[in-house]
Amino acid sequence: MAINNAADASVRSRDLDNAVKEIERWLIHSMLGDVLLTDIFSKFSQKIDKSLFPLLRSHMTMRQMHPFIDNTDHTWHRTGELSTSSRPRTLIAEPNWTQSPLFHMLANTLPEYRCDLTRPDVVERYPIFSKFAEDGGTDYIAFLSPFGNEENALKQQDGIIASWLTDQQGGFTEEEIAALRRLVSLFFVAARIFKREQTLHDVLSAYLGPAAAHQIMEGKHQRGDGDVIQAVIWICDLRGSSALADQLEMPAYLALLNQFFESMAEAVMAEGGEVLKFMGDGFLAIFPTMDGTAISDAAQRALNAARKGAEALANQPSDAAKLKFGIGIHHGDVMFGNIGARERLDFSVIGPAVNMASRLQDLTKKLNVKLLVSSSVADQVTIDWRRFPPQSVSGLKNPIEVLTPAWPEIISDHNP
């Protein structure tokens, strides 16, 4: 019997080693392709469940370098279900997090944490362990891996924590734990690659806009790279900002400015527009049009954004509700791409159509309205318009036709 047990153990060890090598080859191949972490995590968990040991649940969490998201969690279940959730950045940590084994690991800098869920005193440590025990979980192990310099990574919480739950009778064997350690270290490399790519995309999207970020990620990062596209151009500017900056302390002025941008820019994005850049106390946005039939839709959405932005600003529970602004909207061809110096580039739109939208915005001061559009936009939207006499603008030989929607909240203004 002892001989047979030894032989069985040898076969089991050999099978385990072969399974680990096979998963390692698959992980390396996956890392060299398009790294989609949710797919890799799901398949990785499935392979462990089928070839290493019974896996009831696996979980991973990483902190995001994102202006709004603190961290993202992915949880896999043996049923094949993968759930993903993100926690927003808040000043107060949620009890579900602070009362978790992963928080305990992070707070105490534990690279590995194993818990026997067949012991009632262990199950009582964390609320989530009761759920694991009810589901039949017998053993739990988690691994923490900082990314980069350990001291800096722990300070910034830059890294990954992953946990593994089995319902195997007797829990994990020592061989299985050793195999899991070996595989998890390689999986963490894949997670770090993904995080760096995701961080690059998130940062580019936050600072340049999703469309520009996509263009750059697709390889258009050389000066001059870009395309001529048609778009409705939307330029907004805050009125009286110099006086406000002079009257207010800097924190108060920045708070008003951010509330202004929040109201107007979020209205643009909600209507499908692309905010390309903030320019002092104003910003530039576009509503791309792919063909002639799309111009009317983009023009309508641009007007909706102006109206909804004005409403959102007026409803701000602060002095931001009193802020005045001007918006110019035009449609035409623009160069959407990389411009700038050799070592300092910007991804934006340029061209006569952009200049025209800027001129329209300037004219809102002269004509005492909040919004002006060109005839190329007005012709696409069937609403009541107020027409002004042809206006002369700098740089153009002939006067241009300008219009504003016949909306009381847009026509009446008292810009300084």
| 222 shares a domain with 195 | no
The predicted pLDDT at position 157 comes to 67
Cα–Cα dist 399/52, whole Å: 77
- Which residue type is seen at 370? K
Tell me the β-bridge partners of 403: 373, 387
DSSP 384: -
Number of domains in the chain: 2
pLDDT over 70 for what percent of the chain? 85
Q: Is residue 285 part of a domain?
A: yes
Cα–Cα dist 343/26, whole Å: 39
| 19 shares a domain with 44 | yes
| 242 shares a domain with 184 | no
pLDDT digits (tens, 9 = 90+) for 186-229: 999 888 888 777 777 766 777 777 777 677 666 666 776 778 88
| 263 shares a domain with 127 | no
Q: Two tokens at 272?
A: 């499908």
Say which residues have a Cβ less than 8 Å from residue 96's Cβ, sequence separation at least 6. Answer: 127, 128
Cα–Cα dist 130/135, whole Å: 9
The predicted pLDDT at position 114 comes to 97
User: Where a domain ends, among 207, 227, 261?
Assistant: 207
DSSP 370: S
| 19 shares a domain with 98 | yes
| 162 shares a domain with 132 | yes
Q: Is residue 416 part of a domain?
A: no
Q: Is residue 120 part of a domain?
A: yes
Q: Is residue 213 part of a domain?
A: no
Taking residue 91's Cβ as centre, other Cβ atoms within 10 Å add up to 4
| 246 shares a domain with 175 | no
- In the numeric block, the tokens 């927003």 are attached to 88
Q: Is residue 387 part of a domain?
A: yes
| 249 shares a domain with 195 | no
The predicted pLDDT at position 194 comes to 82
| 197 shares a domain with 58 | yes
Residue 48, judged by CB atoms within 10 A of its CB (0-12, 13-18, 19+), counts as: buried
User: Where a domain ends, among 186, 207, 228?
Assistant: 207
The predicted pLDDT at position 163 comes to 96
The predicted pLDDT at position 312 comes to 95
Cα–Cα dist 209/98, whole Å: 34
Nearest to 224 by CA among 332, 333, 343, 347: 347
The predicted pLDDT at position 35 comes to 67
- In the numeric block, the tokens 């896999």 are attached to 76
- Which run of H or of E encompasses 21? helix 2-31
Name the H helices within 209-294. 210-217, 241-247, 250-270
Taking residue 217's Cβ as centre, other Cβ atoms within 10 Å add up to 14
**Backbone phi and psi for residue 78, each to the nearest 5 degrees, phi listed first:** -60, -25
| 332 shares a domain with 273 | yes
Tell me the β-bridge partners of 96: none
Cα–Cα dist 394/67, whole Å: 40
User: Where a domain ends, among 187, 207, 227?
Assistant: 207
Q: Is residue 291 part of a domain?
A: yes
Residues of the chain with pLDDT under 50: 1-4, 414-416
pTM: 0.67
The predicted pLDDT at position 259 comes to 95
Q: Is residue 41 part of a domain?
A: yes
- Which residue type is seen at 374? S
CATH of the domain at 112: 3.30.450.40
| 111 shares a domain with 51 | yes
Taking residue 325's Cβ as centre, other Cβ atoms within 10 Å add up to 25
**Backbone phi and psi for residue 274, each to the nearest 5 degrees, phi listed first:** -115, 110
CATH of the domain at 237: 3.30.70.1230
| 20 shares a domain with 103 | yes
Domain that holds residue 317: 218-411
The predicted pLDDT at position 1 comes to 40
Q: Is residue 212 part of a domain?
A: no
